Chains A and B, each alone.
Chain A
């Protein structure tokens, strides 16, 4: 490692500058709004680097700032990868006057969809679920480790993805991306992660919903417990049925708020009349 920590000699970008982007990337959603979404947050993260790149050209600096105030929206954890690519492309734009600067935002927009898809699957679908599941199992026993286990388990991938995403994005982001997309490996990897995700959800429905029916009848002197019959069909049948009905509503694009209202009405009446519990 060189002593002066210079990453990009031409614009004097140092390791410190990249650490700054890394830390600032955590505030991406800080000024979220419905018009530019994370635009200002994105600009905030890379602005000091832009200043260095355009240190002797105030007009180009202003144009670049406007460029990154444009609407941008992405799952936050992979966003430093895009910031890395962006800084590399801005350096190209500075170096080469014929460089088409519209391609910078084109790349950013092109990455929003796929990276959010991958990011949501991993961070919301898998890392969060596993971290929370382990947190819950400690918390149920009142074990003080629970919140720490949750936070550490989630944030290890969160920090690593951000740090290495930024690094790779800057060094060889655009080439890596096209290669992975051409070979189809990324899609396969996401699919396999999905396998773990849906199996875990299936497992949690069976172990954590626990919806039952306390309903009993007495027909000609013998007591009939409905839940015993349901269990013979399949354990946790009601839990699975409830989940799948709600899932169907979601796929039919019924608003979540209405579904919650429906659950409250059905559940409350079911509870009051002793049908559900």
Chain B
């Protein structure tokens, strides 16, 4: 990987972090997007997208709700894809490297978020002194630290860790590949379990079963199943809101 490429990959990783903090969670961190960008930088967009799709499915449910996230999928996806592309391997390698990176980066992120508490106290003092513009600089300072940490760590691993990573990848035995392949099959289940944890209430269980069974036993596509679900949701809304209205009418009479 050339110096320029390593810098650009570092910028992509930092951008995925900026996405949450400064760009309103606009979803630049999703692996499909980072796969595309890293592919562009390393000269194989198609493969970048395909690896991105695999990582995306694995992290579909990585609903890092704000800063309470458990996985930094932005940096993990960026580095994982970059390593898979430079070593000429597939999605398993992206997962093997991307997952630990996502866990470690999230941990480092929590350290930063702890440190920023100190910045808040300084901001309080600045308000007392009436320096309102400088209060805003404190906000920018946190952004600058974020950018530098994610950029420099990614850059260092990409630029200086290249040889070591290639060595690890090449010495991977066949049985370890089989093991990682199975892990990468179960990890998407983790994502969907996280989503269920967010969404599923008792009253919604029948609709979950419906979605699964229709897809498992028929050839309907995702778009078709979603459309059916929207139809059902609409009907439920109409029925319930008219019964609510009826109750209000009764009560008024």
Q: Which residues of A are at the interface with B, using a C-beta cutoff of 8 A?
A: 25-37, 39-41, 43-44, 47, 51, 58, 61-62, 65-66, 69, 73, 75-77, 120-121, 123-125, 128-133, 135-140, 142-144, 146-147, 150-151, 154-155, 158, 162, 183-185, 188-189, 191-212, 234-236, 239-240, 242-244, 246-247, 249-251, 256-257, 259-260, 263-264, 266-272, 274, 276-277
Contact = CB atoms under 8 A, between A and B. Distances in A.
Given A44-B139, A142-B46, A267-B185, A154 B57 contact: no
B179 A29 contact: no
B193 A243 contact: yes
Contacts of B103: 257, 260
Nearest to B183: A267
Interface residues of B, number: 107
Contacts of A132: 27, 30, 32, 56, 60
Contacts of A193: 233
B30 to A, nearest CB: 6
A5 B103 CA distance: 49
B145 to A, nearest CB: 9
B24 A25 contact: yes
Q: Name the 6 nearest CB pairs between A and B, nearest first.
A: A202-B211, A271-B182, A199-B211, A26-B24, A202-B212, A33-B116
Contacts, number: 359
Nearest to A76: B25
B45 A139 contact: no
Contacts of B36: 139, 144, 146-147
A206 B132 CA distance: 54
B60 A129 contact: yes
A32 B120 contact: no
B202 to A, nearest CB: 11
Interface stretch (B2-10, B82-90, B159-167, B214-222): B214-222
A142 B50 contact: yes
B163 to A, nearest CB: 26
A201 B182 CA distance: 21
Given A27-B139, A242-B186, A267-B179, A40 B22 contact: no
Given A195-B229, A202-B211, A246-B189, 10 more contacts: A26-B24, A120-B63, A125-B199, A129-B195, A139-B36, A142-B45, A162-B24, A196-B233, A202-B212, A267-B182
Nearest to B201: A194
A227 B99 CA distance: 28
A212 B33 CA distance: 29
B118 to A, nearest CB: 9
A109 B232 CA distance: 34
Nearest to A196: B229
B85 to A, nearest CB: 13
B190 A259 contact: yes
A263 B244 CA distance: 45
A245 B182 CA distance: 16
Contact of A199 (B28, B139, B225): B225
Contacts of B240: 188
Interface centre among B143, B189, B213 (most CB of A within 10 A): B189
A66 B124 contact: yes
Given A27-B21, A139-B52, A257-B70, A69 B26 contact: no
Given A150-B32, A193-B233, A268 B183 contact: yes
Nearest to B141: A31
A113 B231 CA distance: 29
Contacts of A151: 26-28, 33
A47 B132 CA distance: 8
14 contacts: A27-B24, A29-B20, A32-B116, A75-B66, A124-B65, A135-B30, A136-B53, A198-B196, A198-B207, A201-B196, A202-B208, A246-B189, A267-B179, A277-B185
B222 A125 contact: no
A205 B117 contact: no
Given A27-B22, A27-B139, A66-B124, A124 B63 contact: yes
A259 B190 CA distance: 8
A211 B185 CA distance: 6
Interface centre among A25, A66, A197 (most CB of B within 10 A): A197
Nearest to A257: B70
